[in-house]
């Protein structure tokens, strides 16, 4: 959640540029163009290179700022937020967890299990989606789930002939589904707690938001599961990938499911993601040692003067991603300090066409998706921006806090997280396909076409806004109404247009 309340900043405190207010977007523009050049022009799938482009954009933008000091202070504020620090630490821990699963052969256990159960590649794609949904729902972390599941399910699916692109899309989709409705997900919490009641005290409760969100998320997940099954049956992976990994099929790796079970159990009971990952690491390490899946040297050691083990390998594997995230959060700080972000969103939602219930929901969806896209698909920070704006515009037409939260969150978790180049989710998914012998490394564009859940969720959101399906208004004492209270709605409409919401 936001570290500070967001109020209009005095002009003297804003970050200004010599080229005008749009200078705030110079760094993101250079980042987007550079990423496109690397991915499309050079066909280089390397996060270190993408991070370098991000820092180049920041460096160029800093010289166009009227004050270098204000620019870099804004960048540091973005990097030093609680959200960014939490994400950095989580990525490091999950990196070790993913490397542990990779080193101990969990994927070979799934390959053996699929072979024994005579599960084909097509069915396995749908199973991959459902398993990832369950893990993400338990952990509440989409990026963490993706990094943990790629070494297990991506390689296992490739071994039995599943399409690598569909497998990557299934893992990404399942992770977003869990993030969309998990009670412990930061996006769920932010989307709920940024929406205030107007006819009673308090904020939207997470439990009520999740319950009401299921009417959109479950149909979208059902559509995605069917799409993965049909597309999986119609396509198969390359024989090269199958032959390389298939020889490693072994039931021994299934012992590591104890670590996964411990992680899920603790996540559900304790609602503490760091604790859950820590328990998963401890249980996994003990099981690996007792079953012979790993030696002490394969956990942490040295050989010929070089460090070895999945602990050091896991940490080092995350450094390029963390470097990229540092650049992204610095850009977020710069855009935020300029005040330009708020001006653009306010210009969209202050128009009279957005002051009906359908218009207000359209504005809420636009702001949720726009904020997330601008912030590189990072839905948590995106919702921090969009939340207060959605709260004001939705309340002005009497929409219930649950409805405001759901339209905003579903728009952000749909198209907001899968826009090519700008999407951290697609970049992480691309990273997850790298480093496996005989299995292709996929670009963000290859994965985008198989991201069925975000597309289905976007369709559900658009249908809901157009038809009014699921629309609820706030009644006396915060109760949900299917029709607005005319007197209250007229009173609230008088609060438009939305005032600026700048966070210093």
Tokens encoding 443: 């670009």
pLDDT at 494: 55
- From residue 162, how far is each of 121, 243, 251, 435 by CA, in Å? 4, 12, 20, 18
Count of Cβ atoms closer than 10 Å to residue 57 Cβ: 24
Count of Cβ atoms closer than 10 Å to residue 312 Cβ: 17
pLDDT at 282: 95
- From residue 317, how far is each of 47, 97, 299, 311, 323 by CA, in Å? 10, 11, 15, 10, 11
Give the sign of the dihedral formed by CA 57, CA 60, CA 63, CA 66: negative
* Residue in 9, 16, 54, 21 with CA at minimum distance from that of residue 35: 54
pLDDT at 245: 47
Rg (CA), the chain: 23
pLDDT at 348: 64
pLDDT at 166: 96
DSSP states of 78-112: HHTSHHHHHHHHHHHHHHHHHHHHHHTTHHHHHHH
Tokens encoding 475: 């009644």
Give the distance from CA 400 to its chain's centroid.
25
Angular region, 257: left φ>0, alpha ψ -120 to 50, beta rest? alpha
pLDDT at 498: 41
Count of Cβ atoms closer than 10 Å to residue 46 Cβ: 15
pLDDT at 336: 83
pLDDT at 413: 93
Helix (H) or strand (E) holding 223: helix 206-234
For residues 285 and 299, the answer to whether their CB atoms sit within 8 Å is: yes
- From residue 229, how far is each of 59, 192, 329, 484 by CA, in Å? 46, 33, 37, 42
Please provide residue 307's backbone torsions phi and psi, each rounded to the nearest 5 degrees: -65, 145
* Residue in 392, 364, 365, 382 with CA at minimum distance from that of residue 496: 392
Strand, coil or helix: what is 423?
coil
Residue corresponding to tokens 């990273």 = 431
Q: Mean pLDDT, 10 residues at a time, over the chain (504 residues)?
A: 42 82 87 76 74 93 94 92 78 83 78 78 90 81 83 86 93 94 80 87 85 95 96 70 53 85 78 80 94 92 90 88 86 86 67 82 90 77 79 86 95 86 81 84 90 96 96 90 77 49 32
SS (H, E, C) 244-306: HHHCCCCHHHHHHHHHHHHHHHHHHHHCCHHHHHHHHHHHHHHHHHHHCCCCHHHHCEEECCE
HSE-CB of 143 using CA atoms within 13 angstroms: 28
pTM beyond 0.85: the answer is: no
- Cβ within 8 Å of residue 134, ≥6 positions away: 174, 178, 264
* Residue in 325, 313, 419 with CA at minimum distance from that of residue 47: 325
The answer, yes or no, to whether the previous bond of 75 is cis (omega within 30 of 0) is no
DSSP states of 24-82: GGHHHHHHHHHHHIIIIIS----HHHHHHHHHHHHHHHHHHBS-HHHHHHHHHHHHTSH
pLDDT at 56: 96
């Amino acid at each position: 959640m936001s570290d500070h309340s967001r109020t209009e900043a005095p002009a003297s405190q804003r970050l200004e540029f010599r080229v005008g207010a749009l200078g705030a977007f110079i760094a993101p523009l250079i980042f987007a163009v550079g990423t496109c050049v690397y991915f499309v022009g050079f066909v280089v799938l390397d996060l270190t290179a993408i991070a370098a482009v991000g820092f180049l954009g920041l460096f160029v933008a800093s010289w166009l700022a009227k004050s270098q000091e204000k620019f870099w202070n804004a960048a540091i504020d973005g990097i030093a937020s609680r959200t960014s620090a939490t994400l950095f630490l989580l990525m490091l821990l999950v990196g070790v967890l993913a490397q542990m699963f990779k080193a101990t052969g969990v994927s070979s256990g799934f390959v053996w299990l699929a072979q024994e159960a005579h599960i084909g590649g097509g069915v396995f794609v749908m199973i991959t989606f459902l398993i990832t949904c369950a893990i993400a729902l338990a952990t509440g972390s989409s990026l963490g789930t993706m990094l943990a599941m790629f070494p297990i399910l991506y390689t296992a699916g490739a071994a039995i002939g599943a399409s690598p692109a569909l497998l990557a899309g299934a893992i990404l989709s399942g992770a977003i589904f869990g993030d969309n409705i998990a009670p412990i997900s930061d996006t769920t919490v932010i989307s709920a707690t940024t929406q205030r009641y107007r006819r009673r005290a308090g904020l939207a409760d997470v439990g009520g938001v999740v319950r009401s969100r299921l009417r959109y998320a479950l149909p979208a997940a059902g559509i995605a599961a069917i799409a993965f099954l049909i597309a999986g049956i119609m396509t198969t992976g390359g024989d090269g990938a199958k032959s390389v990994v298939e020889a490693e099929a072994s039931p021994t790796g299934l012992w590591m499911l104890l670590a996964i079970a411990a992680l899920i159990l603790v996540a559900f009971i304790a609602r503490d993601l760091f604790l859950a990952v820590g328990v998963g690491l401890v249980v996994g390490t003990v099981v690996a040692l007792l079953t012979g899946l790993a030696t002490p040297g394969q956990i942490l050691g040295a050989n010929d003067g070089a460090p070895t083990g999945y602990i050091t390998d896991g940490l080092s594997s995350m450094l390029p991603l963390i470097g990229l995230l540092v650049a992204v959060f610095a850009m977020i700080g710069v855009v935020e300090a300029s005040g330009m972000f708020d001006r653009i969103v306010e210009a969209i939602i202050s128009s009279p066409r957005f002051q009906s219930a359908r218009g207000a929901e359209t504005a809420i969806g636009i702001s949720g998706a726009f904020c997330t896209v601008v912030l590189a698909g990072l839905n948590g920070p995106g919702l921090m921006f969009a939340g207060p704006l959605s709260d004001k515009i939705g309340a002005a037409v009497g929409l219930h806090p649950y409805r405001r939260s759901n339209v905003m969150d579903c728009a952000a978790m749909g198209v907001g997280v899968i826009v090519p180049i700008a999407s951290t989710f697609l970049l992480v998914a691309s990273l997850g396909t790298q480093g496996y012998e005989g299995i292709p490394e996929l670009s963000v564009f290859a994965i985008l076409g198989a991201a069925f859940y975000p597309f289905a969720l976007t369709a559900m959101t658009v249908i809901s806004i157009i038809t009014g399906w699921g629309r609820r208004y706030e009644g006396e004492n915060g109760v949900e109404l299917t029709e607005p209270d005319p007197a209250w709605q007229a009173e609230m409409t008088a609060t438009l247009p939305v005032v600026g919401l700048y966070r210093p």
